[in-house]
Structure 1
Amino acid sequence: MTKIYATYNCRLLVNQSILHKYGEYSILITGLDDLIGKPDLIKSLQGLRPQQNHLLLAHSPAYRDSFSSDELAKITQYKPQYMLSGHTHGGQLSFFGFAPLRPPGSGRYVSGWYRDGAIALYVSRGLGVSVLPVRMGVVPEISYFEWFLNRSVLTSADIPNSSN
């Protein structure tokens, strides 16, 4: 995956965060490993200050239900506004809205918004398939979000590897 991302001048965030600046706005983007690997929220935020705009990306939505007390403390401190996940493919097979099978790491999640936990979560149905090359009763999706960011005042202490 890292090679594919590099080919297209993209960065794969595996237990890492970046501070992306866009004009007078900035957003802290935290990307966590899949549950097959080892997602590490603590490591991914190391050396960074909390920001007004923070997005958490986690491939497997079930990670949201397994936060340790230390991770919950980090979420309280860093206050990510949203967590975006995929992995479930919407169940791939759905019968009248019921998805009987989901990949391990999906937990109770299928698709859409979940606002009942420590952080608002959106689970995308995505475009692909997993294990079985079939998709029935589940409309593929490319999610589009508009997020009105808060203006940020950055200092050199907010940007890793900058000199003060």
Structure 2
Amino acid sequence: MAFKILIAIGAILLMVGVYAFIIEPRRLSEKHYLIRKNKERVLDISEASEMFELESEVQIAHISDLHFSRWFKPRRLKKTLRSLREAKPDMIVFTGDLIDDYKKWPVRQTKSLILALKQMQAPLGKVAVLGNHDYKSDGAGFVKEVLESAGFTVLINQELFGSNEEISLSVAGVADPSAKNAQYYYEATLAQWQLLLLHQPDYISQVKNLSMYDLVLSGHSHGGQIRLPKYYPKTDGAKTFTDSLYLPKEETLLSVNTGIGTTHLPLRFGVPPEVIYYHLSSKTEAFPEYVNPFDFKALIKEEKAKKAANKMTAKDTLLPVPTAKKAHSKANEDKIVDMSLFRRRYHQKTKKRTGS
């Protein structure tokens, strides 16, 4: 009997290992957030992002922590590239850690890496900052050259301005603290949206004029990379802000991307790779809070029918989608709850009420 139990435990561990090593690192989660100038609430529109095209004035794609290595080769970008082609963002932002360790980098992969990164296209350009792993083994110069060869503008304590017919953006990029020359202060510009790129999110505390920024984008944490019920590792530089969205200031939204690649161990469990899309709207009023029960799938079907009949108006685009709320956790009370969790809780409550 004990032998059979050991065999069962071994089989379970083997399946978990296969999943963590082969399956989850190859999954790709896409998140879409609709953000207004009033950031009291953020709408998760991941299940129906195309319905909000009339309100969204610019779409920014955010990728992070690719960690290319002997375990993670450029061909593994296929799903990410497909997502970017389908979403057609106006700007692509990369928040650091292109390679895992320059000393161990397989040089023959460099050309393939540049070609893969070149396939990322956006009319307002591609912007990047370097992460702590990019500086590892004196690799910063190599990483910067690769990114620039692929069409990225690399910001090392620099800022740039971009605009189209609808919106203007100012983007500042902080050198990673591992470079020991990080600059955290930049003058405000006349751009409608002020963005800050910062690889390690906990260093947001060093930004004295934080309220100036609408959106701070970061990575580094990997969301722990492996999450078990009683095991959730945290990384120096991302122990306070670990994943998802936060509101450290009333005017400032912080987004921590859990990345695409892996480090230390080529495993992911409970934290699939992700690409985040931010749909920015210059409307100043906050999203209303919807409290009545709703049928999300029915709502999607209804709105698609409206769009097909060419009856959708700007008023129709503001849907009664559940709004993000602050999570009251001991770790950080500024965190905004992921809408997938909200929907799961909502359906559980519905089942309890109906007795099913």
TM-score normalised according to structure 1 size:
0.74
| CA deviation vs aligned residue, 1:104-129 (integer Å, no higher than 9, x gap) | 21121221011134732110111111
Assess if the C-alpha contact under 8 Å between 1:27 and 1:55 holds in 2. Answer: yes
CA RMSD of aligned residues (A): 2.1
Change (3 A) 1:99 1:26: farther
The residue that corresponds to 1:142 in the other structure is 275
| CA deviation vs aligned residue, 1:105-159 (integer Å, no higher than 9, x gap) | 1121221011134732110111111222221121211111101248xxxxxxxxx
Matched, 1:20 2:151: no
Change (3 A) 1:82 1:133: same
Change (3 A) 1:99 1:148: farther
CA distance in 1, matches of 2:190, 2:175: 20
The residue that corresponds to 1:115 in the other structure is 247
> Offset of 1:41 from its aligned partner?
2.0
Report the count of equivalent residues. 139
> Offset of 1:33 from its aligned partner?
1.5
Alignment of 1:1-164 (within 5 A): 1-37=143-179, 38-42=181-185, 45=186, 49-65=189-205, 67=206, 71-72=207-208, 74-76=209-211, 79-96=212-229, 100-117=232-249, 119-149=252-282
> Offset of 1:25 from its aligned partner?
2.5
CA distance in 2, matches of 1:4, 1:123: 24
Greater radius of gyration (CA):
2
Query: SS at the partner of 1:3?
Result: helix
- The structure with higher relative contact order (CA 8 Å, sep 6+) is 2
Structure richer in helix, relative to its length: 2
Contiguous gaps of at least 5 residues in structure 2: 1-142, 284-356
| CA deviation vs aligned residue, 1:45-84 (integer Å, no higher than 9, x gap) | 36x635331111101101113x2xxx42x334xx110111
Structure 1 segments, 4+ long, off by >6 Å, are none
Matched residues, percent identical?
Answer: 26
Assess if the C-alpha contact under 8 Å between 1:84 and 1:123 holds in 2. Answer: yes
Contiguous gaps of at least 5 residues in structure 1: 151-164
TM-score normalised according to structure 2 size:
0.36
Assess if the C-alpha contact under 8 Å between 2:210 and 2:249 holds in 1. Answer: no
